[in-house]
Chains A and B, each alone.
Chain A
Amino acid sequence: TQLLEQSPQFLSIQEGENLTVYCNSSSVFSSLQWYRQEPGEGPVLLVTVVTGGEVKKLKRLTFQFGDARKDSSLHITAAQPGDTGLYLCAGLPYNNNDMRFGAGTRLTVKP
């Protein structure tokens, strides 16, 4: 079982729509990262959230870290075809050396 559960697994929407993807766990994380990965490439870091309840904005992307630091969400406003990709959340559980990744949400934005 995944330590970090991402939902939905697949999402296909039209250009201009809004969407939210979720990253949930029963474990507490010292911080959580969101990455975007395009086919044939490595994951590219989008944001790191550290403080419970923290909200960070990156243009049309809004990231939130849950108050209890167990979950996070990514909201995209007015999605564009360039947003298409695999969105991965990752975090380091306390007392653990290895970063855990969710399985990802594969987003397709149709023009």
Chain B
Amino acid sequence: NAGVMQNPRHLVRRRGQEARLRCSPMKGHSHVYWYRQLPEEGLKFMVYLQKENIIDESGMPKERFSAEFPKEGPSILRIQQVVRGDSAAYFCASSRTRTGRDADTQYFGPGTRLTVL
């Protein structure tokens, strides 16, 4: 059973360009979460999605950032008009359910390290 997959692992963009980060959840998982991690800091929640629905985007900046999890294909975190402050590691996690004993257990991908020049 493959784990959570993210690509690309490293992404370099110039200021003003768009960054697209992809996440394929574990097989059988329909809940996806995106987090941002700055150097020497913990993970900050950005958005929680289920298939075709954004459940909670309270941690995501209202401008330039968007996320989707289509019926088919991976979840996408999109950052438009990137700025240097967007440079960070972006992690995706998935979970099987949000109820019951395993409700809160999330499995993480290896992350995408975004560098904005």
- Give chain A's interface residues, CB within 8 Å of chain B: 2, 30-31, 33, 35, 40-45, 48, 50, 88, 90-92, 97-104
Contacts and interface: CB of A to CB of B under 8 A. Distances in A.
B33 to A, nearest CB: 7
Interface stretch (B12-20, B51-59, B64-72): B51-59
B104 A48 contact: yes
A19 to B, nearest CB: 19
Interface residues of B, number: 28
Nearest to A29: B104
Which 7 A-B pairs give the minimum distances between C-beta atoms? A42-B108, A97-B56, A98-B45, A103-B42, A92-B104, A101-B42, A101-B43
A30 B56 contact: no
Nearest to A42: B108
Nearest to B47: A98
5 contacts: A41-B110, A42-B6, A97-B58, A98-B45, A101-B43
